[in-house]
Amino acid sequence: MSDKLPYKVAAWGRKALDIAENKMPGLMRIWERYSASKPLNGARIPGCLQRSVETAVLMSLITLGAEVQWSSCNIFSTQDHAAAAIAKAGMPGRAKQTRSTCGTGDLTNLIHTEYPQLLLSLRGISKETTIGVHNLYKMMANGILKVPAIDVNDSATKSKFDNLYGCGIKQATDLMIAGKIAVVAGYGDVGKSCAQALRDFRASVIITKTDPIKVLQAAMEGYEVTTMDEARQEGDVFVTTTGCVDIILGQHFEQTKDDTIVCNTGYFDVEMDVKWLNKNTVEKVNVKLQVDPYRQKNGRGIILLAEGRLVNLACAMGHPSFVRSNSFTSQVMAQIELWTHPDKYPVGVHFLPKKLDESVAEAHLGKLNMKLTKLTEKQAHPDHYRY
């Protein structure tokens, strides 16, 4: 039985990969375009990213000539059947559900601090998470960054798709959201996505935010905006999306309604004080993986999802394949740029060239049966614009 089980898991993963590939037209277009020329021939690419079905498709970078090794970046985000399929295909990596060795930005920090000798042969880094990119800019400002880096996170084909259409918070509890009051902390792209999804499920949505411009945007969209100190007693569901620390504290947990659901879709588990919750709980029961009801000393219940970690990957299956195709195709283009044009990118943080960003978007249009209007030569000439 023990010999057969890994094969069955890998076979399941391979079937899931087949479905995902059909839903990731941008990545598949890259393979078609470059499979013969293999522009990454000779490159060795270590990666630190969720080991999901979609990531497994990304790891097919090896077909472009690269030698790839991957680790997971979140202890709950690994989909074991996908990891097994990758391993069976001969791609080395370290990933298992509930285990992880790296986090976003940590691989970059690890190389810079503990393995600086590797920097001599490192042509560059590409990042696609907000926190990971913030880390790059911080390193650059402090004079620590020693290699070029491409900020994929702020490419239009990442931020305007991955962040907006990747919210997944309903699957874990099967909660009837209609009629509930949902509190969303943050109103960036991810916060806007969560707020819209919750409103589409017919919840009343309250926003908390520190940026007055974003607060005004939320108000213009018809959301109530207040502070967490006031919202704590109103919400049935709380979602943090800020990437910042100390959003939901012990004083907030104590005043919530009974059996309030709390989750985080920012990247790290720093947005809510889970340590306080563990210290001030008389009972904690695990219902199923990543769903933990707590009973506080005051008798009120809190249902915490994913231990305060990234909920859409821990309690659901992460972003849809088509959404991930956009950001992952941008990642591949960034890697090709860094490997084939090293002279174009000095030490610092760079953006993916707009032309490449547009090509990533265009690679997805056919799957949607969308037809792109082309400018005529006259239209494209700036002298013909009237102001």
Binding-site annotation, residues for NAD(+): 312, 319
Cα distance between residue 331 and residue 328, in whole Å = 5
Residues in CB range of 230: below 8 A, 6 or more apart:
none
C-beta separation of 310 from 265 below 8 A = yes
- Please say whether the beta carbons of 164 and 157 come within 8 A: no
User: H-type helices in 221-268, by residue range?
Assistant: 228-231, 250-253
Query: Which residues line the annotated binding site?
Result: 312, 319
CB 152 within 8 A of CB 179: no
| Gap between the Cα atoms of 124 and 150, Å rounded | 8
Q: Would you say 185 and 238 are in contact if contact means Cβ atoms under 8 Å apart?
A: yes
Of 162, 168, 161, 213, the closest CA to residue 187 belongs to: 213
Alpha carbon distance 256, 8 (integer Å): 45
